[in-house]
């Protein structure tokens, strides 16, 4: 089933999760152990799986020379999505990114997904970390997420990069990303929302937000989106703060703000950072639920236990 259909048919807010594939050479069993817990306790309607561009770095060889090596640190998104679909009967949502991929590679990935019976994707630009491969291939790269959305929508209409007679249309539901505290490259929130509306108008079926810790930012964001004419579901993304280092790493890597109350509490009691973060997420999620959000999307990445504790709390309310 498509993600947008899950939201349209739901009679209560949905709970979904986002995971990352194991590192190159890592065991997928650890992912399944986490998913086994999630499915046993929640049985989410869909699970997102992140995608990662290939990265380049320099390795010293035995003879002392340096060699530029290109590899993807976390391959396996499509394979993991296929496993989720057939192992758990849950709709997977693979992320597709612009950064580091040609249009042809994106089309190939979409064809593979279509063959597997996977009809949901989240289309995002992806942030350049500085080590990702730089592509300059005469316009064969989707520069922005809207370009990727348009490519997917073209395939939904049977239009591929090549002119193919009687091409079979795909049928992808397309999710796009929104930023309650604006994208870090946007000059202001209004400008950012204009670009978001363009993605929706191009074919985005729903929006899932970047993580945030201040619900007021989300509520104001949704209000501005509605005033701009965006009428698709806007799903809040929640990350649970579980370690003191998150106070620095999350704002630095995701360009978000952490409320003083939460930051002070964790700083003054670092040993109980997990407990503090979970309690914050419980109240944050409860407020969102009571406000009538379409669902909550948990960025669990590694261990699902903190998120599952929050979900268990919400079930009792």
- The per-residue pLDDT for range 82-111, each reduced to its tens digit, is 999 999 999 999 999 998 889 999 999 999
pLDDT of 57 higher than 50: no
pLDDT of 258 higher than 50: yes
Share of the chain above pLDDT 90, in %: 79
The more confidently predicted of residues 254 and 134 is 254
Token digits for 50? 């992140």
At the topology level, CATH places domain 3-315 in TIM Barrel (3.20.20)
The more confidently predicted of residues 246 and 58 is 246
Share of the chain above pLDDT 70, in %: 89
Q: What band does 166 get if pLDDT is binned at 50, 70 and 90?
A: confident
| Active-site residue, from 18, 107, 150, 181 | 18
Distance CA 316, CA 60 (A): 56
pLDDT of 261 higher than 90: yes
pTM value? 0.92
Per DSSP bridges, beta strands 206-211 and 55-60 are: unpaired
Phi–psi pair at 18, nearest 5 degrees? -130, 130
Token digits for 310? 């929050």
Q: What band does 130 get if pLDDT is binned at 50, 70 and 90?
A: very low
Note whether 52 and 6 are within 8 A (CB). no
Interhelix angle 305-315/273-290, nearest 10 degrees: 40
Long-range contact pairs involving 251-256 (C-beta distance under 8 Å, separation at least 24): 254/210, 254/211, 255/181, 255/183, 255/184, 256/181, 256/210, 256/211, 256/212, 256/213
Q: Please state the rounded mean pLDDT for residues 242-261.
A: 95
Give 78's contacts (C-beta < 8 A, 6+ positions apart). 94, 109, 112, 113, 116
Specify whether 60 is catalytic: no
Determine how many CB atoms are found less than 10 A away from the CB of residue 89. 9
Of the candidate ranges 21-35, 194-208, 226-240, 249-263, the one whose mean pLDDT is the lowest: 21-35
Q: Please state the rounded mean pLDDT for residues 6-30.
A: 92
Using CA of residue 197, residue 235, residue 219, residue 279, what is the dihedral sign?
Answer: negative
What are the sequence ranges of the domains in the chain?
3-315
Q: Please state the rounded mean pLDDT for residues 135-147.
A: 77
Residue entry with tokens 């509306």 = 197
pLDDT of 164 higher than 90: no
| Cα–Cα distances in angstroms (integers) from residue 108 to residues 44, 161, 228, in the given order | 28, 10, 34
Among 171, 211, 184, residue whose Cα is nearest residue 18:
211
């Amino acid at each position: 089933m498509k993600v947008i259909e899950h939201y349209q048919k739901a009679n209560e807010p949905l709970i979904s999760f986002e995971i990352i594939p194991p590192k190159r050479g890592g065991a997928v069993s650890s992912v399944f152990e986490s998913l086994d817990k999630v499915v046993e306790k929640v049985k989410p309607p869909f699970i997102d799986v992140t995608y990662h561009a290939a990265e380049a770095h320099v390795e010293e060889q035995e003879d002392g020379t340096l060699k530029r090596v290109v590899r993807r640190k976390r391959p396996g998104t499509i394979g993991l999505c296929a496993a989720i679909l057939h192992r758990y009967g849950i709709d997977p949502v693979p992320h597709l990114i612009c950064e580091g991929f040609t249009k042809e590679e994106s089309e190939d990935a979409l064809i593979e997904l279509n063959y597997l019976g996977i009809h949901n994707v989240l289309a995002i630009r992806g942030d350049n970390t500085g080590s990702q491969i730089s592509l300059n291939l005469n316009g064969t790269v989707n520069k922005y997420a809207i370009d990727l959305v348009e490519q997917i929508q073209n395939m939904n209409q049977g239009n591929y990069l090549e002119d193919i007679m009687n091409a079979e249309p795909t049928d992808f539901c397309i999710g796009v990303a929104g930023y309650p505290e604006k994208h870090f490259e946007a000059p202001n929130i209004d400008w950012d929302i204009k670009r978001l509306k363009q993605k929706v108008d191009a074919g985005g079926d729903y929006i899932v937000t970047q993580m945030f810790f201040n619900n007021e930012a989300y509520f104001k964001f949704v209000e501005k989106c509605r005033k701009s004419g965006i009428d698709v579901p806007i799903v809040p993304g929640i990350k649970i703060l579980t370690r003191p280092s998150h106070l620095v790493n999350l704002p630095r890597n995701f360009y978000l703000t952490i409320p003083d109350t939460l930051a002070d509490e964790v700083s003054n009691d670092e040993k109980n950072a997990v407990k503090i973060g979970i309690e914050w997420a419980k109240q944050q999620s409860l407020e969102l639920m009571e406000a009538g959000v379409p669902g909550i999307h948990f960025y669990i990445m590694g261990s699902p236990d903190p998120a599952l504790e929050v979900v268990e709390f919400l079930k009792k309310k």
